[in-house]
Amino acid sequence: MAQASEATIIDRPEQRFPLRLAPEIPQIRKLFHASAKNQWDPRTDIDWHLLDLSKYTEEQLLGAREYWSRRAWAEYGAISESPALQIRFCQDRLEPDLQLFFTIRSQEEARHAEACYLMAENLGGYIEEPFVSVYQSSVATHGVRKMALDPNLPLEATIAALVCGAEEIAFDVFKHLTEVATDPVAIQVVRAVMRDEVRHCAFGWAFMDHRIKSLTAKQIGEVEEAVIIMIRDVEMNGYHSAWLAPENPASAQEVRADRLTWEAGLGATVEELEIPVFIETVQRIRRRMLPWGFELPIFEHPKLGAF
């Protein structure tokens, strides 16, 4: 007989009242208001008519469709991690600012998926699933949904790993994409997504600054471990960038699609340009986490060296 699964926070009784709505973390409340003011619609706020497919070869278009479809799949992951965190905020009866911000954060992740989907559609058609899916299984998920619902893991570990680690890395790559893309529509899409992501990252640092002082040494150790796992085992295993993944037919296919997309100026980037971006981001994350009471170790990867 299968063993009963471990209890999650969903198994706990729910207590909603009294409702607390007054601001408790002003910085996060400000982010919520900024998000509410900066809503956009991928269907109408991107000048899709400026996308001129005649400039690109068939091969480049297929590569770019693959790349943008893959971006959409990654955003789908964010759409489901966001509500998992929202449940945690509610169940733990945390500051209302977190819940308010995450209602919009979830919407924003859905909007990113839609923007990426529309980009693929406009390039010739969204692709439903990977052409080769061997390596999907190894890095398709960073485990955040499970972490968010695990009562034994401090929420700070999940936010630090997901937001101050993974989302921070993703943001820097997006910023880099705005510099290497040349297609006007690709630039509009990455800029629009980036403007939301800057708030997502700011949320993580504000949350951690607010909480870190009340954590025990054991909890800080758990935060550190979660961040290390996210960087070393998820990011450096190709979660966001296929060239970091162990070589196999699936990652090779993705690397090819990325290069075609980058050559066309349609939004992706390539190993040689991304290496310094990745290293610099991780070094900055390490520096920013020093006041939390730990120093991330030196990481090593065959393509990145030790840094």
CB of 62 or CB of 189, closer to Fe ion: 189
Shortest spacing between CB 78 and Fe ion, in angstroms: 5
Per CB under 5 A, the segment of 59-67, 75-83, 235-243, 281-289 that binds Fe ion is 75-83
Q: Contact 188/119 with Cβ under 8 angstroms?
A: no
Buried b (16+ CB within 10 A) or exposed e, 176-188: bbbebbebebbbb
Check if the beta carbon of residue 9 is closer than 8 Å to that of residue 151: yes
Looking at 65, 88, 111, 112, which residue binds Fe ion (CB under 5 A)?
A: 112
Binding residue count for Fe ion, defined by CB under 5 A: 5
Interface stretch with Fe ion, choices 197-205, 220-228, 251-259, 287-295 (CB under 5 A): 197-205
Of 108 and 220, nearer to Fe ion (C-beta) is 108
Q: Which CB, 8 or 141, lies closer to Fe ion?
A: 141
State the SS3 of 188-243: HHHHHHHHHHHHHHHHHHHHHHHHHHHCCHHHHHHHHHHHHHHHHHHHHHCCCCHH
Could you tell me how far CA 119 lies from the centroid of its own chain? Answer: 19
User: Which is nearer to Fe ion, 112 or 211 (by Cβ)?
Assistant: 112
Q: Which is nearer to Fe ion, 115 or 282 (CB)?
A: 115
Element (H, E) at 306: strand 305-306
Phi then psi for 300, rounded to 5 degrees? -135, 140
What's the closest the beta carbon of residue 102 comes to Fe ion, in angstroms?
11
Please tell me whether residue 70 binds Fe ion under the rule CB under 5 A.
Answer: no
Shortest spacing between CB 116 and Fe ion, in angstroms: 9
Residue 75 CB, nearest distance to Fe ion (Å)?
A: 5
**Minimum CB distance to Fe ion, residue 111 (Å):** 8
- 200 near Fe ion, judged by CB under 5 A: yes
Residues 6+ apart with CB under 8 A from 304: 236, 244, 275, 278, 279
Choice between 37 and 218, CB closer to Fe ion: 37
The reply to whether 71 sits near Fe ion by the rule CB under 5 A is no
d(CA 251, CA 259): 12
Sites of contact with Fe ion (CB under 5 A)? 78, 109, 112, 197, 200
